[in-house]
Amino acid sequence: MVVGDFPIETDTIVIGAGPGGYVAAIRAAQLGQKVTIVEKGELGGVCLNVGCIPSKALITAGHRYETAKHSDDIGISAENVTVDFSKVQEWKGKVVKQLTGGVQGLLKGNKVDIVKGEAYFVDANTLRVMDENSAQTYTFKNAILATGSRPVEIPTFKYTKRVINSTGALNLPEIPKKLVIIGGGVIGVELGTAYANFGTEVTILEGSSELFAGSFEKQMSTLVSRNLKKKGAEIVTNAMAKGVDEKEDGVVVTYEVKGEEKSVEADYVLVTVGRRPNTDELGLEQVGIEMTDRGLVNIDKQCRTNVSNIYAIGDIVAGPQLAHKASYEGKIAAEAISGHPSEIDYLGIPAVVFSEPELATVGYDEKQAKEDGIEVVAAKFPFAANGRALALNSTDGFLKLVTRKEDGLVIGGQIAGTSASDMIAEIGLAIEAGMTAEDIAMTIHAHPTLGEITMEAAEVALGTPIHIVK
């Protein structure tokens, strides 16, 4: 092993180049800091390489295939629609490569030094970075931890060729005929939807009484369940996965529901029961960083740990494990290091599921508002009453705008429907800007667009709806 003779000095060192780390590094560099970013894997982290981006590409391909086969109701029929799954995977890889290459260009364009290797703390101002051939010491004024997370492995479902995690599911060599998914959360539902659209017989085993374990309102999750069942998927709730018998060409999964043990055969079993923070191999104990029992790093409102010059962001801190949350926190940390008064405020952070229909939520829902003692008006408008949704033949769903009763202040919103992932941004902006239902209602929305649904819901909140009867 070749060891660097002298430490390399930098102002800020960022560990992890995912959507939290690379954003933090760029913002820190923009603010005049000399920045080094360390990544042991690929630039872009889980999100760009084996998470958000490739999964959405796979979902898009599945949706295109399903639409091509089932558009008879609008007068379009296609015969012998086929899938070349190797080309689907090739296209997905091109999307990933374009984005990860873009991240590298952005880092270099902002004069961020990129270092490949594993980082380990020596003390609060010193880091060792090692790869297979060498080791180098770095000294720094500030550090940002952005090491992300990895899939949780169940002891009775050790990962193998046929027992796979989300990374394995994204890189299957063929479309499975049958797929069992343990966990009906976001990842399980998204990948289950993609493969169901390709024609796979999907079985989802969920431990709670509904999909998403209560993360979304029941009416929203029910829409997703109904659509998955239309695609032939079986959803088993209150199910406890017990074990797996792996064979050369498939698996037999046993599970228990209502005290009865059952089994299901499949080509693969996909385990999506959560993710574990990557905080166990950094040497954080060397610097006395405080963590929770789950391995999460404790931070203050500026993402600062109990060690004043070390910050933490993304999946390794409390809160939802979302790429855009990590990016947001990365900017806060970089700005805090530069002396800005930036602080985290999670109220305006949306959560999205790329299911069918898509689900999105931001801010308060009715239940949360009630628990916090806030009296609200929950104004709902259906997609079925919107011209653009009708023209898209996508009328499933609704938008609910949550406003404070006393003054009409927008404090939340939930959307179930096509393009919910894009539409939720307007409600997030309204929350961030302190807007009222009247502000949204008075904003002229182009016709015919899905965006009008937000305006219509605001008019419902004001008691003056135009396109539904009050």
CA dist list (Å): 253 to 38, 149, 203, 259, 392: 40, 26, 11, 16, 39
Q: Two tokens at 316? A: 């390794």
Q: Determine how many CB atoms are found less than 10 A away from the CB of residue 397.
A: 24
User: Quick check: 336 and 320 in contact, CB under 8 A?
Assistant: no
Task: Kindly list the distances between the CA atom of residue 8 and the CA atoms of 21, 52, 124, 127, in Å, as whole numbers in the listed order.
Answer: 20, 34, 15, 10
Residues 6 or more apart in contact with residue 256 via CB below 8 angstroms: 239, 240, 242, 262
Please, is 68 exposed, middle or buried when counting C-beta atoms within 10 Å of its C-beta (0-12, 13-18, 19+)? middle
Residues 6+ apart with CB under 8 A from 2: 133, 134, 135
- Asked if residues 146 and 153 have their Cβ atoms less than 8 Å apart, the reply is no
Q: Among 70, 324, 447, 467, which one carries the catalytic annotation? A: 447
Q: What share of the chain is helix, strand, coil (3-state, %, to 5)?
A: 35, 25, 40
Cβ atoms of 331 and 340 closer than 8 Å? no
Q: By three-state DSSP, how is residue 63 classified?
A: helix
- Burial of 319-345, coded b for 16+ CB within 10 Å and e otherwise, reads eebbbbbbbbbbbbbbbbbbeeebebe
CB-based contact 75:63 (threshold 8 Å)? no
DSSP letter, residue 407:
T
- Is 447 one of the catalytic residues? yes
Catalytic residues: 447
